[in-house]
């Protein structure tokens, strides 16, 4: 397989640089997967095989690492990944209601992506902001003390196409 065709030169260089920090290249597994995800949003089978080759691992071994972490995406995700905390503090303060509202507005369930490819809705165990529960994370941004109106506002800011459905 032509490795350069699957991964960009930039990606390959960054991965090899990360691998260079360790005596055992496979120690850079997570770092390498994050590099791929940074450029592509997710890690395809082909990309994973190529990364495994760079790190001198079997694809099976690397995929074991990739699938263990829920924030390494092995399927395509939308432009905005909404992480919906379902841990105990958020649950006590209405996480279920928040998630239902999001599902209703987006027309998707957990683990799904909107047809226009804008949003993916995923559960997450804890975002480390229990004092401001319930919380959400969209991309890199944390949303605290979330309620229905905040959701509507955030969705409006990110794009309208689906809200009038």
Partner 1 sequence: MAKITVDGQTYDVKAGDNLLKTCLSLRLDLPYFCWHPALGSVGACRQCAVVQYKDESDAQGRLVMACMTPVTEGLRVSLEAPQAREFRAGVIEFLMTNHPHDCPVCEEGGECHLQDMTVMTGHTFRRYRGLKRTHRNQYLGPFINHEMNRCIACYRCVRVYRDYAGGKDLDVFASRNNVYFGRFEDGVLENEFSGNLVEVCPTGVFTDRTFSQHYVRKWDLQHAPSICVHCGVGCNTSPGERYGTLRRIVNRYNGEVNGYFLCDRGRFGYGFVNSERRIRQPMLRGEPVSGETALAHFQGLLGGHTIGIGSPRASLEVNFALRELVGAEHFYAGFAQGEASLAAAILDVLRHWPVHNPSLREVEQADAVLILGEDVANTAPRVALALRQAVRNRAFERADRLKIPRWQDAAVREAAQGEKSPLFVVAPNATRLDDIAEAICRGTPEDIARLGLAIANRIDASAPAVADLSQEDEHLAELIGDTLTAAAHPLIVSGTGCGSLSVVRAAANIALALSNRREGRAVDLCYVVPECNTLGLAMMDERSVKDAFAAAKTRDLNTVIVLENDLYRRADAGAVDSFFNGTRHVVVIDHIRHGTAAKAQLLLPGSTFAETEGTLVSLEGRAQRFYSVMPGSGEIRDSWRWLADAAAKRWSNIDALTAACAAALPEFGPIRNAAPPAGFRVEGEKVPREPHRYSGRTAMFANREIHEPKPPDDPDSALAFSMEGASVDVPPALLPFVWAPGWNSHQQAVNKFQDEVGGALRGGDPGVRLFESPETAEPRWFDEVPYRLRDEARWRAIPLYHVFGSEELSALSPPLAERVPAAYAALHPEDAERLGVGETLAVRLNERVVRLPLRLESSLPRGAVGISAGLAGLFRSDLPAWIAIEKEGERP
Q: Residue 141 forms beta bridges with which residues? A: 138
Q: What CA–CA distance (Å, rounded) separates 135 from 94?
A: 10
Minimum distance from CB of 80 to partner 1 (Å)?
Answer: 24
Q: Of 32 and 155, which has the nearer Cβ to partner 1?
A: 32
Minimum distance from CB of 130 to partner 1 (Å)?
Answer: 21
Q: What CA–CA distance (Å, rounded) separates 63 from 29?
A: 10
SS3 assignment, position 122: strand
SS3 assignment, position 112: strand
Q: Of 59 and 94, which has the nearer Cβ to partner 1?
A: 59
SS3 assignment, position 41: coil
Q: What CA–CA distance (Å, rounded) separates 143 from 99?
A: 13
Minimum distance from CB of 158 to partner 1 (Å)?
Answer: 30
Minimum distance from CB of 115 to partner 1 (Å)?
Answer: 24
Q: Of 80 and 120, which has the nearer Cβ to partner 1?
A: 120
Q: How far is CA 9 from CA 5, 6, 71, 101, 112, in A?
A: 9, 10, 24, 42, 31
Kindly list the residues in this chain that would bind partner 1 in the complex (CB under 8 A): 24, 45, 48-49, 58-61, 63-64, 67-68, 70
Minimum distance from CB of 156 to partner 1 (Å)?
Answer: 35
Q: Of 61 and 79, which has the nearer Cβ to partner 1?
A: 61
Q: Of 49 and 132, which has the nearer Cβ to partner 1?
A: 49
């Amino acid at each position: 397989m032509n490795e350069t065709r699957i991964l960009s030169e930039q990606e390959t260089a960054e991965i090899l640089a990360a691998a260079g920090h360790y005596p055992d290249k496979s120690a850079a597994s997570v770092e390498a997967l994050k590099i791929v995800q940074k450029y592509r949003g997710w890690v395809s089978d082909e990309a994973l095989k190529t990364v495994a080759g760079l790190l001198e691992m079997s694809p099976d071994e690397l995929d074991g690492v990739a699938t263990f972490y829920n924030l390494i995406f092995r399927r395509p995700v939308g432009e905005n990944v909404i992480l919906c905390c379902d841990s105990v503090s958020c649950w006590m303060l209405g996480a279920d209601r928040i998630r239902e509202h999001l599902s209703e507005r987006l027309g998707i369930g957990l683990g799904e992506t909107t047809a226009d490819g804008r949003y993916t809705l995923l559960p997450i165990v804890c975002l480390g902001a229990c004092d401001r529960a319930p919380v959400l994370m969209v991309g890199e941004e944390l949303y605290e003390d979330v309620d229905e109106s905040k959701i509507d506002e955030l969705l409006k800011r990110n794009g309208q196409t689906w809200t009038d459905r």
